[in-house]
Amino acid sequence: ELLVKGDYRSEIPGRDFKDEIGDLSRAAEVFKNKNIQTELLLEQSNALTRELEDKRKELAKSNESLEHRVSERTEEIKGNNIKLIKKITENKRAEKQIKASLKEKEVLLAEIHHRVKNNLQIVSSMLHLQSNLTKDNKITEIMDDSQHRIQSMALVHETLYESHDFSEITIQHYLDELVRRLIAAYEQKTGTVTTKIEAEGIQLSIDTVIPIGLITNELITNSMKYAFQERKDNEIKVILNSTEVEGEFELIISDNGIGIQEDIDIRNSKTLGLLLVTNVVELQLSGKLEVKRDKGTEFKIRFKEISKPHKMIANKLFNASLE
């Protein structure tokens, strides 16, 4: 009766009997145990069902939250993309304006260099004309020297104008042309002079090239005037290299002529040419000058490149326009 009512916890009597009642009692005990196990399994199943339902609700809530976050993030990305596209458009517009402005300034700089070159050439031509009209050899020599100095500066502007790069000059090309012109001007008096010029791959600012041109002009002129004196196998070398010190260069100008006399003090020379070389090296380039008088004359000049203000200003303007 207890089993029929679902009471599986009560003790079933008669299990120890050896008769039919005992068999029935033991069978009832087995039935009771099976039902207890079934009840436990049912409870576990119900617990799992409740747990799964809780997990399902939790997952649904999590999905809803995730979808909301994804939606918010998507809108944020869309907003950022719109801002980025707007910024890119503004930058492209600014870049276009800068390029147009730089192009305009390049044309202006080209015209300036062209006019400076022409004006210097006019001055040079006037000196040449005046030199031809004077009968005083000393004055003629002074005017010729001044003419060559002006031409060395005019060549800088000519090189810049032809290269279309207004921040730097390829120094090899400049020195080749400068030395060629100087040799041609004096070669009739001195005879054939061979030259060796090495400055491959070096580019310098105009503020550095102009003093280098003046130095080279003076030293080559001195060699052509005084070093060879109708000797044969005359040679002039102009070598420009970078040193082991960052940003430092070494300019060597030498000849195999008779050499400068030992009693001549380069730094206290009374000649304008050597005085100009010393002042340009020490005051304009802040460099160091050494002279060797063995087997000809060798001038060794160490200097650092003068800053490139035009390039620095252009970079500052470009960066400022993008801010």
pLDDT tens profile 154-203: 888 777 767 666 678 889 998 999 999 888 888 777 778 899 999 988 99
With tokens 């210097």, the residue in question is 120
pLDDT value of residue 138: 84
pLDDT value of residue 134: 82
β-strand partners of 301 = 251, 289
β-strand partners of 248 = 304
Task: Please compute the mean of the pLDDT values over residues 249-266 and round it to a whole number.
Answer: 88
Distances (CA, A) of 282 to 105, 285, 286, 290: 33, 6, 5, 11
**Minimum mean pLDDT among 53-67, 129-143, 199-213: which range?**
129-143
Q: Helices 137-163 and 206-222 meet at what angle, rounded to 10?
A: 150
On the question of pLDDT at 4 being above 70, the answer is no
Domain positions in the chain are 168-307
pLDDT value of residue 253: 95
Stronger pLDDT, 108 or 239, i.e. the higher one: 239
**Minimum mean pLDDT among 87-91, 104-108, 190-194, 244-248: which range?**
104-108
Considering the chain, what is the average pLDDT of its residues? 80
Token duo for residue 80: 């950022």
pLDDT value of residue 1: 53
With tokens 């252009």, the residue in question is 314
Task: Please compute the mean of the pLDDT values over residues 78-104 and round it to a whole number.
Answer: 86
β-strand partners of 250 = 241, 302
pTM: 0.61
Q: Tens of pLDDT along 209-241?
A: 889 999 999 999 989 888 887 677 889 999 999
pLDDT value of residue 317: 41
Rg (CA), the chain: 48
> Which has the closest alpha carbon to 289: 307, 268, 306, 263?
268
pLDDT value of residue 38: 73
253 — phi, psi (to 5°)?
-120, 120
On the question of pLDDT at 300 being above 90, the answer is yes
What's 106's DSSP letter?
H
Four-way CATH pick for 168-307: 3.30.420.40, 3.30.565.10, 1.10.287.130, 3.40.50.300: 3.30.565.10
pLDDT value of residue 321: 39
> pLDDT class for 109, splitting at 50, 70, 90?
low
User: 246: part of which helix (H) or strand (E)?
Assistant: none
